[in-house]
Amino acid sequence: MATQFITKVRVEGAPVPSRHEHIAAVMLRTGIIEARSTVISRIRLGDQYYTAASPPALVYVHACPFCGARDYITTHPDQTATNNLLRLPRF
């Protein structure tokens, strides 16, 4: 099991009709860019991903609450908006 820290995100629009963003790719603290599908695969194999924020937030996979897409990654709500994936810098 590996632990990775996400410093930046690339987003894409979600399927119509709902208008919201999904993470398309992430940049790790090491500078490596991983597609969302890679992050999901590695999480399912036991790796852990966190946002590189204070405090770090654990990233997990679940169905999107807005459109139902099953390949959605997000963080657990914890009263700290600045450590959410969608609040990280974009690349």
Residue 11: beta bridge partners? 23
- pLDDT of 81-90, one tens digit each? 889 998 999 9
Q: Nearest Cα to 59, choosing from 67, 38, 69, 68?
A: 38
- pLDDT of 45-76, one tens digit each? 999 999 999 999 999 999 988 888 889 999 98
Instruction: Give pTM, 2 decimals.
Output: 0.91
- pLDDT of 2-38, one tens digit each? 999 999 999 998 766 678 899 999 999 999 999 999 9
CB 75 within 8 A of CB 84: yes
Q: Nearest Cα to 62, choosing from 77, 79, 78?
A: 77
Could you tell me if residue 68 is left (phi over 0), alpha (psi between -120 and 50 degrees) or otherwise beta? left
